[in-house]
Structure 1
Amino acid sequence: MASPHLPRLDGATGWLNSAPLDPADLRGSVVLVNFWTLTCINWLRQEPYVRAWSRAYRDDGLVVVGVHTPEFSVEHDVDQVRRAVAARDIDYPVAIDNAYGVWNAFDNQYWPALYFVDTDGVIRDQHFGEGRYDESERVLQRLLGVDREPVPVRGLGVEAEADWSHLRTPETYLGYARGEHFASPDGVAFDEEATYAPPDELPRNHWALAGDWTIGAERAVLDRAGGSVVVRFHARDAHLVLSPGGPGPVPFRVLLDGEPPGPSHGVDVDEDGFGVVEDARLYQLVRQWDTIRDRTVEITFREPGVEAYAFTFG
């Protein structure tokens, strides 16, 4: 069966760093199409490689095209995407795919996803998820007709490679549409304000709320100041996708097993556990520096309105 050709890109609702592109514009170039969404930890860890390849092989004929297809409703905000692009110094074209037009044209199912396209516009390879970086770079080199040492890449902070050997806790959604392992004693009140409390003991890979929250299909929204989210996890890193839910920042504090995190604080938290939600993005709360073990992290917010979407771990 013949390999598929690069689909049309006119389903994009906008573009960053470029005028609109279509397959005819890209014919004669090797193209790497990267589907992503700004809160995805897997993409955040992959993106340093894509950025490095774009710069290393641009003069050899490589064009990287990012496609931002939102997972959560808050990710439809183009200004949020623009800030994410600027924060990572992404200078290659990015299609804004708010209507899923490009996603559906590729029949894509994953964040992140890579599609490798030759100079005739034929998709020659694909990869779903993070990892496989050496092999992906070899595919690019083969399509470009070059042979050199791989580009050195070292992710820092949130972008650092996960500690896969100690990762025991899966991604955990807080909205009821995909939420699992919710441990507050009275269960979920769907789409209405309710007062929650954590259980006396929280099992590994379970989470709970404390205070007044409204749990919707994709997020939990804090209705009164002082509410908390708590999760029991086993991983080096703990992250939470958050949005301030309004124009103002929302201060928060993280406790790890009931104490300030100290040297185990994440990049978005200081040693005393203090941080601020300013944009809709992924916040790194914990990076354990010593023996990785079961831990309980609690995040308490000083202002209402904050939106909590999903925990991820690494």
Structure 2
Amino acid sequence: MTTESRARRRLLKAGGVALALLGLGLAGHLLARDSYGPMPSLAGAGQWLNSAPLGDAALKGKVVLVDFWTYDCINCRRSLPHVSEWARRYADQGLVVVGVHTPEYDYEHDIGNLKAQVRQLGISYPVAVDNDYRVWNAWGNQFWPAHYFVDRKGQVRHVHFGEGDYSGQEQVIRQLLDEQG
């Protein structure tokens, strides 16, 4: 089994745990084990908005928040102001926010619609266009919004599915930024 397959399996397990916790109202409390494994690839994105494609070299030594979202998801829209604020507030400390737009509805596949929504929503951080679900599948993701927090060593350290616990998520960002890479 490849390293990426093992990482995907761990993330899928995290998703299963998250579903159970969602039923208990505890989804925001999936706080970090040592690691869920290495960060899966973003290479499956069909194109990028606000950035050139970001790969391992561009993200090396950075804390990364990967936000799976889609523009017509009300839960995603409620979380976007928080994600945008974190991108702005912590960029100079080494945080890179990557939005992965994986559409739910047919009209969300239209790049023109997506570009308009990115402008309207004021999203200035990189957005990977994942119309074919390649990034979604590489990560084993199953939710909108889904936040994956990656440390400077490229390890997924925390996951959060759905809305809420924004102060807890921000604390994860601060903890990962404080760690030495």
Q: Does 1:96 align with 2:123?
A: no
Aligned counterpart in structure 2 of residue 65 of structure 1, from 84, 98, 112:
98
Q: Does 1:87 align with 2:110?
A: no
- Superposition deviation, residue 88 in structure 1: 1.6
Distance 1:89 1:25 in 2: 23
Q: Does 1:9 align with 2:42?
A: yes
Distance 1:140 1:23 in 2: 19
Distance 2:41 2:157 in 1: 17
Distance 2:169 2:127 in 1: 20
- Residue matched to 1:134: 167
Contact 1:7 1:23 in 2 (8 A): no
Q: Could you say what secondary structure the match of 1:39 adopts?
A: coil
Q: Does 1:145 align with 2:178?
A: yes
Aligned residue runs from structure 1 range 251-290, under 5 A:
none
- Residue matched to 1:225: none
Q: Does 1:40 align with 2:79?
A: no
CA deviation map 1:211-245 (0-9, x unaligned): xxxxxxxxxxxxxxxxxxxxxxxxxxxxxxxxxxx
- Superposition deviation, residue 3 in structure 1: 2.7
- Residue matched to 2:85: 52
Unpaired segments ≥5 residues, structure 1: 147-314
Distance 1:3 1:38 in 2: 27
Aligned residue runs from structure 1 range 192-271, under 5 A:
none
Q: Could you say what secondary structure the match of 1:103 adopts?
A: helix
- Superposition deviation, residue 84 in structure 1: 0.8
Q: Percent identity?
A: 54
TM-score normalised by L of structure 2: 0.78
- Residue matched to 1:76: 109
Q: Whose radius of gyration is greater, 1 or 2?
A: 1
The runs of at least 4 consecutive aligned structure 1 residues that moved more than 3 Å come to: none
Greater displacement, 56-65 / 17-26: 17-26
Amino acid in structure 2 at the alignment position of 1:30: V
- Residue matched to 2:6: none
Distance 1:53 1:101 in 2: 26
Considering Cα pairs closer than 8 Å and 6+ residues apart, tell me whether 1 or 2 has the greater RCO. Answer: 2
Distance 2:46 2:162 in 1: 24
CA deviation map 1:256-299 (0-9, x unaligned): xxxxxxxxxxxxxxxxxxxxxxxxxxxxxxxxxxxxxxxxxxxx
- Residue matched to 2:15: none
TM-score normalised by L of structure 1: 0.46
From the two aligned structures, give the one with the greater strand fraction: 1
- Superposition deviation, residue 9 in structure 1: 1.0
CA RMSD of aligned residues (A): 1.3
Aligned residues: 146
Aligned residue runs from structure 1 range 109-124, under 5 A:
109-124=142-157
Contact 1:118 1:124 in 2 (8 A): yes
Aligned counterpart in structure 1 of residue 52 of structure 2, from 16, 19, 22:
19
Unpaired segments ≥5 residues, structure 2: 1-9, 11-34
